[in-house]
Structure 1
Amino acid sequence: MAFDLNFLLPLFSVFVALALAIVFYNYKSSRDKKLLPPGELGLPWIGETLDFLKAQKNNKLYQEFVQPRIKKYGKTFKTSLMGSPTVVVNGAEANKFFLSNEFKLVVSSWPTSAVQLMGSDSIMGKQGDAHRCIRGIIATSLSCSGLEATVPKMCNTVQLHLDENWQGKNIISLYRFTKTLTFNIVLKCMLGIEVEQKMLGIFERVLEGVFSPPVKFPGSAFSRAKNARVEVEKMLLNIVRKKREEIEFQQGGEEGGMLLFRLVKAMIQGEMSEKEVVDNMVLLVFAAHDTTSFAITMTFRMLAHHPKCYSQLLQEHLDIKDNRKPGETLTLEDIKKMNYTWQVARESMRMYPPIFGSFRKTIADIEFDGYTIPKGWKVLWTAYGTHYESEYFEDPLTFNPSRFEKPVQPYVYSPFGGGPRQCAGSQLAKLNILILIHFVVTQYEWSLVNPEEPIAVDPLPFPSHGMPIRISPKLS
């Protein structure tokens, strides 16, 4: 009997230990599962990607993809997009938490194709101190005070493009015109580069591959974009090296392009490499190109749909024009008086944000909204998560510029992002928008050809037919 007991006791102990281990494992798994945000991951890799892309293509990402899941799961939910488990977050608290914790809890997560084409040494691919250093140089040049001396150049560029592209025309593509204009403003006014006719086409070939699959086979969008990137790089390297010689031999200064001067100066001082200068020049053109063009186009669209708003805006510009002598160009002080115009532009960007949001990648397990977001997962915040919610904006689907007469709670209005990654070129975009509006409304009568033109997305939004407008010069 003693033998049997001695044999059974260790066996019983092993059995109890295994049972406790199973119970603990099941408890831990159950607890961890409960801590994950609710939602569906779907099939491996595919997940809910097809639903996401379909909603995005229809320009109804928030209405068709995000809102139904908010109703089902709450403001924080999990999904799976492009092969990555992803948590979608919504609301001002979420925006503040994730955008302000860049480099601490999350890092920016761009598609491989975008990183390769914009350049791995651009600010979009930098983290921590390296990001802060480059951003400081760019932000100083693109701040309101840094841009003051550029205002006359921008005014001259806008007037020249109107004269060249609008005179004698009855209908023009507003979106195409603004894309060309913003491209020229960045190159001529900020980088001091004389624009040749072929340049825009080359840059646009690069941009066409930014969100395409990074597969380089002949004829693919990515392959064409990579080849165009080589052309762009050769062109910019020549410009950077020439500017370096000018600075080192004191033959040129900021007048040849304020931002280029500061980037090359930083390179000479060892703060940036030559590749970093070139990559950030490419990124600047990309960042200012489609997004600002779309913001301008949507502002004109909303003005056309709301004639009372247009009358008030027009009077603001006529008053500014009447206070200037003939031939005098706009000053920064004039632009600061365009308060209502900027309210209109902000409201347009609230309803039609140039970017829907952006992805981050967690670098640690994160506790948020009562859930755990595991390390290595993606996080998606969207501008729509506050822009379209009555919690933040009364009657959010109604166009109402006067809502911006009062300060807006931080991280509620986010067409330019927020935190350390907030768009460094937001003031440049603002000047672009306000200056062009001033010249157009004081010199031309205009109307939309197709007031209900649909907005397409591929992957950034754009008017599907280029937003054609009828124009005629104003009688003096």
Structure 2
Amino acid sequence: MMMMSGWFFAISILVISISETIRWIYRWRNPKCKGILPPGSMGLPLLGETLSFIVTANSIDIHPFVRKRMNRYGPLFKTSIAGRSIVVSTDPDFNDFVFRQEGKLVEMWYMDSFAKLLRQDTTAASGHVHKYLRHLVMSHFGVETLKTRLLPQLECAINRGLQEWAKQPNVQLKDQTAAMIFEFTAKHMLSYDPERSSDDNIVGNLSNFLEGLMSFPLRIPGTAFYRCRQRQQKVMKVISKIVEERMKRSNSQGDFVDEMVEDMRTETFMTKEFASHVLFGILLASFETISSTVALAINYLSEHPSLLQQLTEEHEEILNKRRGGNPGGTDGLVWEDYRSMNFTHDVVNESLRLANVAPGILRRVIKDIHVNGYTIPRGWAIMVVSAAQHLNPNTFEDPLTFDPSRWKNTGSNAKAKNFMAFGGGGRTCAGADFSKVLMAVFLHVLVTKYRWTKIKGGDVVRSPTLGFADGFYVSVSPKHASNIEE
């Protein structure tokens, strides 16, 4: 009798456990919502559809994860990535609506992995803090500063970088471009000199950093997030040390750090930790995304000799005009030269359109959103997929073709709605002009003073961020002997 009771108890526990597991799986697959959720699948419990999201795709096209679900569910679909409930949007009208609802229905947000690395309160700064940070970036890297100070400094830095490239048998283009950009931005933000700080290796620790940002935030050795965390801590240690030293000094360098240290006296949110995380975030943003887009542009120009010739002619004409109007004077670029680079602007826009370095732009829902009969609950995230708009055949004919001429007939209104390389709404990237000027100046120096040969690699992959399967190696040589320093 006792044995039968024991078996009955064990079976009852097993049945209850199975029932609870089934209920839990049902709740996972059917999240609570005061309305109807967009169609889609939440995938496996906890894991969601993360593995499908991070799979490597050997194409510049929209990542298969998004493409397949667009075809199955339409322009809005639900999913779960890295443990978070997300609605993915490929709808231009809804995306425009989302950006206009900043601070009302949505707020800036990053995946938990990035939030833990960069502090969510720093990256999602709103109101007064956001205005302060935007003003800070614009004052150091905005149009007025580019006009009066940064343009010639950028040209000098790129000249030095390409001179070094020409002394080497070949260079890994994306990595070397990233190092060049980092050296420039770090100097202007932190007065950081990598030659005097060679042991810090910030460049190496930031290289391909985005690979771990879409991963589960698991601090387990061997995971992508753990590697990211280790590298981030090394970079943060260097940045924090710089901020700390600057707080103790009385003389000013006139850079980002000095302005932040000065504002610690009046702004309660401006602490050493906050300043360090902001500096890390801005360095990472400039370092990773611009270098990938520059590498993609050079890759396409390598494959289209006629476009390269057209680009070269535009820049040689700029040089000839300056030499003709100023015999014996400097050949350095001025703002009017940059503004006159019409074809170059088209090349830059086309490269940005195709690059789509990040898989999407994220926002967190702070009030239920009702759209097309569906409800997106508070607390969920929205991922705006810019690639879906940039590669939409209804907007851009032959969208996978590198065709800078398409921008000649693209009006500003159409561009504003269908081109979001730098985000949208009030959160448009404050460094957009700096990024475009940097790319244009890089192309100017490269095509007027150097030639290059593609050595190996260059095959684009998405995983889901933009990369090159086997790197992208080129050999750079000067057009004239004077371009190499003795």
For normalisation by structure 2, the TM-score amounts to: 0.81
Residues 196-220 of structure 1, C-alpha deviation per residue, up to 9 Å, x if partnerless?
3333224449766544433334565
Q: Does 1:363 align with 2:366?
A: yes
2:143 corresponds to which residue?
Answer: 144
Give runs of aligned pairs for residues 230-379 of structure 1, distance below 5 A: 230-244=233-247, 249=250, 251-254=251-254, 257=255, 259-270=256-267, 272-322=270-320, 323-324=322-323, 325=328, 327-379=330-382
User: Which amino acid is 1:70 matched to?
Assistant: M
Query: Secondary structure in 1 aligned to 2:264?
Result: helix
Aligned to 2:396: 393
More divergent stretch after superposition (152-161 vs 342-351) = 152-161
Q: Give 1:62's aligned amino acid.
A: I
Structure 2 counterpart of 1:468: 473
Residue 466 of structure 1 aligns to which amino acid in structure 2?
G
Cα offset for 1:286? 0.6
User: 1:362/1:448 Cα in 2 relative to 1: closer, same or farther (>3 Å)?
Assistant: same
Q: Which residue of the partner structure matches residue 126 of structure 1?
A: 125
3-state DSSP of counterpart to 1:449? strand
CA contact (8 A) 2:208 2:288 kept: no
* Structure 1 residue aligned with 2:42: 41
**SS of match in other structure, 2:363:** strand
Residues 149-168 of structure 1: pairs in structure 2 closer than 5 A: 149-167=149-167
Specify whether residues 437 and 233 from structure 1 end up closer, same or farther in structure 2 by C-alpha distance, changes over 3 A only.
same
Match of 1:422 among 424, 428, 438: 428
2:140 aligns to what SS in structure 1? helix
Q: Name whichever of 279-288 and 216-225 sits farther off.
A: 216-225
Asked whether the equivalents of residues 346 and 404 of structure 2 are also in contact (C-alpha less than 8 Å), the reply is: yes
- Confirm or deny: 8 A CA contact 1:154 1:189 kept in the other structure: no
Q: Which moved more, 1:275-284 or 1:41-50?
A: 41-50
Identity of aligned residues (%): 30
- Which of 460, 468, 475 is the matching residue for 1:455? 460
Is 1:76 the counterpart of 2:81? The answer is no
Q: Deviation of residue 343 (structure 1)?
A: 0.7
**Structure 1 residue identity aligned to 2:278:** N
Instruction: Note the aligned Cα RMSD (angstroms).
Output: 2.7
| Residues 365 and 374 in structure 1, CA contact (< 8 A), matched pair in contact too | yes
Query: Which residues of structure 1 form unaligned runs of 5+?
Result: 1-28
3-state SS of 1:359 partner: strand
Report the AA paired with residue 438 of structure 2.
Answer: N
Give the aligned length.
436
Match of 1:6 in 2: none
User: Are 1:173 and 2:172 counterparts?
Assistant: yes
* Alpha-carbon displacement from aligned partner over 1:9-60 (angstroms, at most 9, x marks no partner): xxxxxxxxxxxxxxxxxxxx9xx79833223334433343333222x55457
- Cα distance in 2 for residues equivalent to 1:78 and 1:138: 35
**Distance across 1 between alignment mates of 2:287 and 2:310:** 28
1:232–1:80 CA distance, 2 compared to 1 (3 A) = closer
Distance 1:244 1:407, change over 3 A: farther
The 3-state SS of whatever aligns with 1:62 is coil
Q: Which amino acid aligns with 1:192?
A: S
Report the AA paired with residue 186 of structure 2: L
Q: Is the contact made by 2:60 and 2:400 (CA closer than 8 Å) also made in structure 1?
A: no
- The runs of 5 or more residues in structure 2 that have no matched partner are 1-29, 482-486
Kept in 2: contact 1:121–1:280 (CA 8 A): no
**Shift in CA distance, 231/470, structure 1 to aligned 2, threshold 3 Å:** closer
In structure 1, C-alpha distance between the alignment counterparts of 2:317 and 2:203, rounded to whole Å: 36
Worse overlay, 319-328 or 354-363: 319-328
Q: Report the Cα distance in structure 2 between the residues aligned to 1:208 and 1:470, rounded to whole angstroms.
A: 27
Question: Which residue number in structure 1 is paired with residue 105 of structure 2?
Answer: 105
Range with bigger deviation, 59-68 or 149-158: 59-68
